[in-house]
Amino acid sequence: MTNKLTFLIIPLTLTSCSFSDYESEKIKSSTGNFEIQATVNRTDKNAENYADVIIHLFDKNNIKLTELNTGAGDANKWTIGWTKSGDTIVLQSSDIGNKAWILQNENPTAIKMTDKLNERAEILKSEKYE
């Protein structure tokens, strides 16, 4: 009887984990001036941001400055991080491709991807998934 319950409980536990909202740890920029955190709404299918990767930007005093809907979907592999120097946010997404935002007046502004930014995005992916 115990074995049957175990086989029933394990799949239910694993299934419930995949249907909860996601919130990453905060990631500090190399300058220490900012932190980012990613969230994904995995539970409210009626919301506009359902399954979207949202980046939340905080200052060094942990005050939320803004949030950015990246346009990346949670159904595919993705990761966020910072460039090694400066305050540039990098997104690696198997869904929409790589993107980057530079902070201007504490607001993220999309910038054109360069070879160096794409390389950083791939490094972030390898750190998370490999």
Give the angle 112-114-120 at the CA atoms, nearest 5°: 115
pLDDT at residue 125 tops 90 = yes
Q: What's the chain's average pLDDT?
A: 89
**5 within a domain of the structure (yes/no):** no
At 87, list the tokens. 């305050």
**15 within a domain of the structure (yes/no):** no
**66 within a domain of the structure (yes/no):** yes
The CA distance from 50 to 87, in Å, is 28
pLDDT of residue 86: 92
Q: Looking at the 3D structure of the chain, how many domains does it have?
A: 1
More confident residue, 70 or 9: 70
**9 within a domain of the structure (yes/no):** no
**50 within a domain of the structure (yes/no):** yes
For residue range 21-59, list pLDDT tens digits in order.
Answer: 999 999 999 999 999 999 999 999 998 999 999 999 999
**12 within a domain of the structure (yes/no):** no
Q: What is the mean pLDDT of residues 59-67?
A: 97
| pTM score of the predicted model | 0.82
For residue range 94-118, list pLDDT tens digits in order.
Answer: 999 999 999 999 999 999 999 999 9
Q: Which structural domain, as residue segments, surrounds residue 123?
A: 20-129
**55 within a domain of the structure (yes/no):** yes
Q: Which range is least confidently modeled, 3-7, 77-81, 87-91, 94-98?
A: 3-7
At 51, list the tokens. 């399954």
* Sign of CA pseudo-dihedral 111, 112, 116, 120: positive
How confident is residue 12, by pLDDT bands cut at 50, 70 and 90?
Answer: very low
**7 within a domain of the structure (yes/no):** no
